[in-house]
Amino acid sequence: MSIAKGFKQLKKDWDTRKKGNIGEFLMSCSEIIMEYCGGASGPLWGNAFRYAGKASIGKQEIGVSELAELLQAAVIGIQETGERSFGRGAKVGDKTLIDALVPAADSLKDSAEKNIDLITAMKLSADAAKEGAEKTKGFAANLGRAGTVGDRSIGYPDAGAYGIGIIFSELYEFAKDFK
């Protein structure tokens, strides 16, 4: 619920956010997320937005390459926050949202290198995120709330990774219909 609360507040305050450029907007969003998302979610998601904002400061538009950079920065933001807060940042295989976010970001980077169009790249990225989330069923959680149940988490997907798969799929559906 804390993530939902933060993003509901962001939606409510949408029109008051700085929108001079993409980076400025994302940095502004990070403030709301950090303030209204409770627990570890606020700093993790807030820093994801803050790092993504720093990576896209001054940009008015983004393509596949810039989106890949933005997501790579978000991954670093989450991992560095974990390092500061918990002694180490999550990595693929820890059964966290990183298990979906890293493949999604890597897919975008690969698409940029191959000059794949934005909509196709977003579809590939969404598929990579969903595949990463699905893989979390096969191993025990090492970090986060699920880390307390260890082997009992085997057979169930990580909620954060699963959520990333949904978010990326919905972003693709929106972009596909928007163009």
**Domain presence at residue 114:** yes
In the predicted model, what is the mean pLDDT of residues 104-124? 98
User: Cβ neighbours of residue 67 under 8 Å, at least 6 residues apart?
Assistant: 108, 118, 121, 122
List, for residues 59-111, the tens digit of each pLDDT value: 999 999 999 999 999 999 999 999 988 888 999 999 999 999 999 999 999 99
**Tokens at 177, concatenated:** 């219909």
User: What's residue 179's pLDDT?
Assistant: 61
State the pLDDT at residue 94.
Answer: 93
Average pLDDT over residues 143-153: 83
Q: How many CA atoms lie within 13 A of 147 on its CB side?
A: 11
Residue 44 CA to residue 57 CA, distance in Å, equals 20
Q: Once rounded to an integer, what is the mean pLDDT over residues 1-16?
A: 81
Which of 17-21, 38-42, 123-127 shows the highest mean pLDDT? Answer: 123-127
Enclosing domain of residue 101: 90-179
Residues 6+ apart with CB under 8 A from 113: none
Map residue 19 onto helix, strand or coil.
coil
The sign of the torsion formed by the CA atoms of 39, 45, 47, 50 equals negative
CATH code for position 116? 1.25.40.340
pLDDT of residue 145: 75
Specify the number of domains making up the chain: 1
